[in-house]
Amino acid sequence: MSIISAAGMRMRTSTTRSPRNTLVLGSAALASKFYEEMIQRDGPGNVRLVQGQDLTNVATGVDFSHIVIADSELGGNAELTDTLINYKLRGVKIESAVDSFEKTSRKIWLEGLSPQWLILANGFSPSRTYLQIKRVIDIIFSVVLLVLTAPLMALVAAAITFESQGPAIFRQERVGLNGRRFTLFKFRSMRQDAEKASGPTWAKEQDDRCTRVGRFIRRCRIDELPQLVNVVRGDMSFVGPRPERPYFVDLLKQNIRYYDLRHYAKPGITGWAQVMYRYGASVEDAYQKLQYDLYYAKNVSIALDLLILLKTIKVVFAREGR
């Protein structure tokens, strides 16, 4: 019988206490990718890579208490499944690579994602009570903040109009819940003709298209205050995946599998990806952020929303993320 590849490793994490040694099973390519993801975060630890042997031979001489399966196509191997059941009944913890990755990294491992996992996984179904409570909180806080920040927004609008031609409020089409398009409001931070020659372009952290006022309001996140109107209207929430432009949604759907899943959660002014990942301006950045967006969609709760809001305050003061 041939499987697979295996790695006995010692994984260290600050968020979850892992067993002393973990055995990773799966196709050579997939198991290696999972291993690479782990060591990028935790370091190499004690590593053992073995390929082309059955589970019993791989496990010989390895003190392990945790098996991670990095391949969803193991059910057809009767001898292997019997061996895995035997280990499970002897107290060895067995879980999928996607589940293991989620617990230690707090994001969903896209590389190992499968339709079967999505169908059987818990989560991705926020309760009606949660959605109702969240909507009430969104409306109350948005109205209060609009009233409190009205003088500031008037000053910002005047400064933008004084410095450069064009309206102070920038309107742009974005993709929201269930793929519905809506108009997003922001303070204009760039020149009026910023994309006239280039066409749609990702905003960069140090963007030469920004005006002087624009650079300041973007650093302080003041440019996003008009999105409170989007929250009141129901287009957005305070917390959720950042809404993307239709042009980039079409591009990313072609390049990233499961990208459209992020549209099953209402977009937000801030989100898990924004507080956990750096400023994104590429397909690779969008890939990494999607892993965080899917974690949020799977684990939505008031507690997670509050955690994101607290982290957002830290990000704003540190001028990180986006």
Residues 169 and 307 in one domain: yes
Residues 225 and 268 in one domain: yes
In this structure, is residue 123 part of a structural domain?
no
In this structure, is residue 118 part of a structural domain?
no
Residues 307 and 192 in one domain: yes
pLDDT in tens, 129-147: 999 999 999 999 999 999 9
Last residue of a domain, one of 55, 78, 113: 113
In this structure, is residue 90 part of a structural domain?
yes
Residues 153 and 284 in one domain: yes
Last residue of a domain, one of 78, 113, 148: 113
In this structure, is residue 171 part of a structural domain?
yes
In this structure, is residue 91 part of a structural domain?
yes
Confidence tier at 15 by pLDDT (50, 70, 90): very low
What is the arithmetic mean of pLDDT over 214-235?
A: 94
Residues 38 and 187 in one domain: no
Residues 296 and 223 in one domain: yes
Residues 162 and 294 in one domain: yes
Residues 135 and 85 in one domain: no
Confidence tier at 110 by pLDDT (50, 70, 90): very high
Residues 104 and 205 in one domain: no
Check residue 97 and give its pLDDT: 87
In this structure, is residue 85 part of a structural domain?
yes
**32-36, 116-120, 183-187, 190-194 — most confident range:** 183-187
Check pLDDT > 60 for residue 48.
no
The string of DSSP codes covering 220-281 is TTGGGTTHHHHHHHTS-EEESPPPB-HHHHHHHHHHSTTGGGGGGS--EEE-HHHHHS----
Last residue of a domain, one of 86, 113, 140: 113
Check residue 182 and give its pLDDT: 98
pLDDT in tens, 261-291: 999 999 999 999 999 998 777 899 999 999 9
Check pLDDT > 80 for residue 2.
no
pLDDT in tens, 226-247: 999 999 999 999 999 999 999 9
Distance CA 188, CA 203 (A): 13
Nearest to 189 by CA among 140, 226, 228: 226
Check pLDDT > 60 for residue 53.
no
Residues 155 and 282 in one domain: yes
Question: How high is the mean pLDDT of the chain?
Answer: 83
Check pLDDT > 70 for residue 18.
no
Check pLDDT > 70 for residue 12.
no
16-20, 61-65, 305-309: segment of lowest average pLDDT: 16-20
Domain of 190 in residue numbering reads as 128-318
Residues 94 and 164 in one domain: no
Residues 304 and 222 in one domain: yes
Regarding pTM above 0.75, the answer is: yes
Check pLDDT > 60 for residue 187.
yes
Check residue 314 and give its pLDDT: 86
- Which distant-in-sequence residues (6+ apart) come within 8 Å of 166 by Cβ? 188, 191, 192
Check residue 83 and give its pLDDT: 79
Neighbours of 113 (CB within 10 A): 21
DSSP 180: -
What is the arithmetic mean of pLDDT over 101-109?
A: 91
Check pLDDT > 80 for residue 158.
yes
- The distance from CA 246 to its chain's CA centroid, rounded to whole angstroms, is 19
Give percent of the chain with pLDDT exceeding 90: 50
In this structure, is residue 30 part of a structural domain?
yes
Q: How many domains does the chain have?
A: 2
Check pLDDT > 80 for residue 39.
no
In this structure, is residue 121 part of a structural domain?
no
Query: CA dihedral in degrees (79, 81, 82, 85; nearest 10)?
Result: 160
Type and span of the H or E element at 153 = helix 128-163
Check residue 51 and give its pLDDT: 47
